Structure 1
Amino acid sequence: MPAKQHLPDSEADVPPHVIRQVLHLMASRGHSAERLCKGLGFTPENLCDAGFRVSYRQTSVLVRRAMQLWGDPAIGIATGARQTVVCFGLPGLGMLTCPTLGEAMLYLIKYQRAAGALTTNELAVVDERHFSIEVNTRFHDAELEPFFIEEIFVSGVEVARSMVGSHFRPSRLELRYPRPVYASAYNEYFRCPVVFNAPLNRLICDMAWYHCPLPTHDRFMQASLQAQIDQLLSTDAPRNDLVESIMNVLRASVDEMPGLAQAGAALNMSERTLRRRLAELDTSYQRLVDQVRYECALDLLRRSEMPLVDIAMATGFTDARNFRRAFKRWSGILPNQIRQGVPAPRLLMPERTA
């Protein structure tokens, strides 16, 4: 049986910043975050994990659910208006180190995926008096395109106003989709002319804003802080959202790992289907179990002084000897070498049957 075609919209490659804001928005009207997340492979608690990532597929399903419950078609504007520079995470901190608003925008675009963007964004000079931010959706989805375009433009304007003042406003907003029934909300928020059915999604701004200085800039600290942020933002290749969901299940019970059938039940999937889906992704359940145990062991070795026997128990082993043997298979080194400062390699253990 041929493997299914790889689906890019299932790559768990962005932080869940948009999902967090949608859930906050929905909670303000009494809607349950747990219900909105049901069946998506994560819980609201997972959203507090700094390393947690989601896919476009997961986000789009949750947004559709929220749109049905919200009842106001301008939900994209409401979501974007909740964003602050802090919501962008480390890229937001990097923006604050920049000398001008334009350079801060370029920095954010450089790390747009790490900032949670579900669109592709570019900054370009239009002419000697104007620059633009052009936005395109990553996947064709006519129903949700307005939401994602609104969210990214509104959040960008919201952050710009927080950095240089509430008087910031673009020169013009151009949107590819037809004029919606709530078009007046655009004029009210952006305070500039809005053109619908345009060739591109563009926010056009006066060049004076590009050169507007930021009060948070420190020329002595900019280089060193950005170097530290750059290092922290260097990440591995994205995981598939199914893989990420399984690992969330496993992380919740590292000391007593659920079997394949239990993990499948948690994801509303049969054992046979789950095994097949993982094979199509060129991995296995045992591989993911070992990955989670290895991550947990590394964390305990680095951040605690727990004896090896306690770390062994915490990672699902009956004694320290079995833990050492497994750790050597995973990494090629012994656990004590991690505490001696030896860099931890990636998981090396070959596939084994659960």
Structure 2
Amino acid sequence: MEATVFKPSKLRTYLKLAEDAGMSADAILDGSGASWADIHALKPFDLPTIARMFDLLARRTPPGFAITSAYSSRVRHYGVVGFATMSMPTLREALQHWARYSLIAGDPLVTTIEEHGDEWRMDFETRIEMSPAARRYCIEAAVAALEPVIEELTNQPARSLRIDFAFEDGDALEAYRLFRAPSLRFSRKSTAYYGLRGDLDRPIPTSDEFVQTLFHQQCDQYLSELVQTRTLAERMEDLLRESAGNLPSLDEVAAALGMSRRTIQRQLGEEGLSFHEVVKRFRQRHAYMLLREPSPKMKAIAYTLGFYDVGNFRRAFREWTGQSISEWLANPSP
């Protein structure tokens, strides 16, 4: 099956911001096989290619640029997904819409929203394996865009409580001062933004039921087409990623995808895979990505990948690579 391709709307937005800041988008993309004209015209690319272009963007822009540039981004820059988000009745529905449909914009991140007590939080994680530089760029930009987007949608400033980052503070301390959150915490288990729950009930002045229905239908159609062209293994990995720490069984995956256990096994067989191999591949890819992070926490990684303890994770890692984790970290691959 051919690789699923996406229009790089999100990448285009950040390259345009780089151009506005006096940088050359073509120089940033040099060596990627794509030009600024390709991206500006929204030529489709698969997600791994988009991720590699984000890596170039991260390495060829100044420290903190992801944050400072994202503060000037706007929802409408993201095409049909952005306009649909602007047409929602409340901030809650707008953010939920973005979380569901951002893949259409070629977004390599997954966002999830939870509400607890007087707080709400949005978590940020990557859909696919990315370099540490690309992952950090995408997450910093997404978090930085959230406060101005909330103000853009509701005409009121975001009431941020705190922000957790799953990496060290690095070289962008000046840029981090843009955040209104009174508390920024680094080297946390995951990246998450926390706000006051009542803000989710804010109305959106640009809400329009007719426009909302129109764009929502278009988003459903686009997403359906993407899902149909993605392999079963890719769709299963989406579920595994969303269930980090509590990986679903084959029966649970079948129920979530609306398929029978036997159908899943048959279709995976046609792709040359088994359920066990999909889980193993997911764990391997994410283990390599998480271990490349500064000061990786073995217990947190083991939990995220669905292992009962660090010992089981270490034994599985040696089976995958023939090396201990410390040996692999001395010369990481792939």
Deviation, 1:53, is 2.4
Amino acid at match of 1:115: A
Residues 196 and 168 of structure 1: CA distance in aligned 2, closer, same or farther (over 3 Å): same
Of 173-182 and 40-49, the range deviating more from structure 2: 40-49
2:122 equivalent to 1:130: no
Q: Distance in 1 between matches of 2:4 and 2:30?
A: 17
Match of 2:134 among 111, 134, 144: 144
2:12 aligned residue: 20
Of 149-158 and 204-213, the range deviating more from structure 2: 149-158
Amino acid at match of 1:134: D
Q: Distance in 2 between matches of 1:25 and 1:225?
A: 26
Match of 2:56 among 58, 65, 75: 65
Match of 2:183 among 190, 193, 210: 193
Deviation, 1:123, is 0.8
Aligned pairs, how many? 231
1:86 aligned residue: 76
RMSD of aligned alpha carbons: 3.0
TM-score (norm: length of structure 1): 0.57
- The alignment partner of 1:131 has SS state of strand
Deviations 1:159-179 (A, max 9, x none): 212111252232110111112
The answer to whether the Cα contact below 8 Å between 1:121 and 1:134 also exists between their aligned partners in 2 is yes
Residues 209 and 116 of structure 1: CA distance in aligned 2, closer, same or farther (over 3 Å): farther
Q: Distance in 2 between matches of 1:225 and 1:129?
A: 31
2:26 aligned residue: 34
- The alignment partner of 2:177 has SS state of helix
Q: Distance in 1 between matches of 2:56 and 2:215?
A: 39
2:220 equivalent to 1:214: no
Deviation, 1:88, is 1.8
2:35 equivalent to 1:46: no
Alignment of 1:1-354 (within 5 A): 13-50=5-42, 52-70=43-61, 72-125=62-115, 127-138=116-127, 139=129, 141-165=131-155, 167-219=157-209, 222-236=212-226
- The alignment partner of 2:132 has SS state of coil
Deviations 1:182-228 (A, max 9, x none): 23422323343111111221111111111001111234654455234
Q: Distance in 2 between matches of 1:22 and 1:222?
A: 26
Deviation, 1:27, is 2.5
The answer to whether the Cα contact below 8 Å between 1:173 and 1:202 also exists between their aligned partners in 2 is yes
TM-score (norm: length of structure 2): 0.60
Deviation, 1:11, is 5.0
Unmatched tracts of structure 1, length 5 or more: 1-5, 241-280, 282-354
Deviations 1:281-319 (A, max 9, x none): 9xxxxxxxxxxxxxxxxxxxxxxxxxxxxxxxxxxxxxx
Deviation, 1:46, is 2.1
The answer to whether the Cα contact below 8 Å between 2:104 and 2:222 also exists between their aligned partners in 1 is no
- The alignment partner of 1:203 has SS state of strand
Q: Distance in 1 between matches of 2:149 and 2:97?
A: 13
Residues 163 and 62 of structure 1: CA distance in aligned 2, closer, same or farther (over 3 Å): same
1:345 aligned residue: none
The answer to whether the Cα contact below 8 Å between 1:175 and 1:202 also exists between their aligned partners in 2 is yes
Unmatched tracts of structure 2, length 5 or more: 232-270, 272-334
Q: Distance in 2 between matches of 1:59 and 1:47?
A: 10
Residues 98 and 18 of structure 1: CA distance in aligned 2, closer, same or farther (over 3 Å): closer
Deviation, 1:37, is 2.8
Residues 229 and 64 of structure 1: CA distance in aligned 2, closer, same or farther (over 3 Å): closer
The answer to whether the Cα contact below 8 Å between 2:84 and 2:211 also exists between their aligned partners in 1 is no
Deviation, 1:77, is 0.8
Of 231-240 and 37-46, the range deviating more from structure 2: 231-240
Identity of aligned residues (%): 19
- The alignment partner of 1:54 has SS state of coil
Structure whose CA Rg is larger: 1
Residues 110 and 63 of structure 1: CA distance in aligned 2, closer, same or farther (over 3 Å): closer
- The alignment partner of 1:111 has SS state of helix
Q: Distance in 2 between matches of 1:220 and 1:24?
A: 31
Q: Distance in 1 between matches of 2:136 and 2:113?
A: 20
1:274 aligned residue: none
Residues 232 and 170 of structure 1: CA distance in aligned 2, closer, same or farther (over 3 Å): same
Amino acid at match of 2:159: R
Residues 186 and 31 of structure 1: CA distance in aligned 2, closer, same or farther (over 3 Å): closer
Q: Distance in 2 between matches of 1:221 and 1:68?
A: 39
Q: Distance in 2 between matches of 1:131 and 1:211?
A: 11
**Structure with the bigger percentage of helix:** 2
